Copies of this chain bind each other. A is one copy, B any other.
Amino acid sequence: MNDTKEPIYTAAIIIIGNEILSARTQDTNLNYLAAGLNARGIRLGEARVIPDRPNMIISTVNELRRRYDYVFTTGGIGPTHDDITAKSIARAFGTRLQCDEEALRILQEYYGDELNDARKRMAYIPEQATLLDNPMSRAPGFQLANVYVLPGVPRIMQAMFEGFSHRLAGGHPLLSHTVSALIPESQTAEGLAAIQARYPQTELGSYPYVRNRQFGTAFVIRSEDESVIENAVEELVALVRSFGMEPHIEKG
């Protein structure tokens, strides 16, 4: 841990798509982005899943871009009539879409003679926005101020995120160690609260699970500071052993 006080960077994620809210699709983009942001020391403050409706996109983007350092959206930037994210983002910023020459060139190179009007739509991004490279299917995402607009297809979204995420300013990643044991959460509550009290600067969570009809608990300790986390893990291990169980430890 550095001695100097460093800024904490925060982010919010907006998952745009009726298909998530209708249960047709199990979202995985939130988890992927959360891991990627965490690895860069950026704290994910909240996430929202909203329908493909312009007013909802506009109000959500405007609320969150003021509250967090970064906002990432996924979904709704394809070529069809229900892809309304780019236009809505432009409206959120009080600007409008324009044809980006570089985006058009990329699409022309990729589609050649098959560049139809629908595909050309994907070259329209808000004024002032900059392109985010899409190594997989070429049609770019874009960044406007602190808002990063990504596609919804997980593999394409991931490839795009990997392309620019190293440029995001972040801090020290939170380290996270997990101590788990087949012991019911409620048996350890008191000891756990005592450990949390002794390590106020760490985040100590307990997550019950069910395995082979037995209740177990995963205790997760998160901190930027390696030595603090090691000490807390030791205490947790002792707590678990005091109930006659041997814990499983995972460091990450």
Per assembly, the copies of the chain total 2
Check A82 against B206 for contact (C-beta < 8 Å).
Answer: yes
User: A108 to chain B: closest CB distance in Å?
Assistant: 13
Interface residues of A in 116-137 (CB under 8 A from B): 116-119, 121-122, 136-137
Query: Top 3 nearest A-B pairs by Cβ distance?
Result: A118-B189, A23-B34, A23-B35
User: A114 to chain B: closest CB distance in Å?
Assistant: 8
Check B49 against A20 for contact (C-beta < 8 Å).
Answer: no
User: Which of B80, B186, B196, B222 meets A78, CB within 8 Å?
Assistant: B186
Interface residues of A in 192-246 (CB under 8 A from B): 192-193, 196, 203-210, 215, 220, 222
Tell me which residues across on chain B come within 8 A of A196, comparing CB atoms: 81-82
Given A56-B46, A155-B210, also A193-B81 (CB < 8 A): yes
Chain A contributes a number of interface residues (CB within 8 A of B) equal to 68
Would you call A181 an interface residue if the criterion is a C-beta within 8 Å of the partner chain's C-beta atoms?
Answer: no
Tell me which residues across on chain B come within 8 A of A38, comparing CB atoms: 22-23
Check A82 against B210 for contact (C-beta < 8 Å).
Answer: no
Check B51 against A46 for contact (C-beta < 8 Å).
Answer: yes
Report the nearest B residue to A192, measured CB to CB: B80
Would you call A47 an interface residue if the criterion is a C-beta within 8 Å of the partner chain's C-beta atoms?
Answer: yes
Task: Mark each residue of chain A from 162 to 206: 1 if its CB lies under 8 Å from any CB of chain B, else 0.
Answer: 000000000000101010000001111110110010000001111
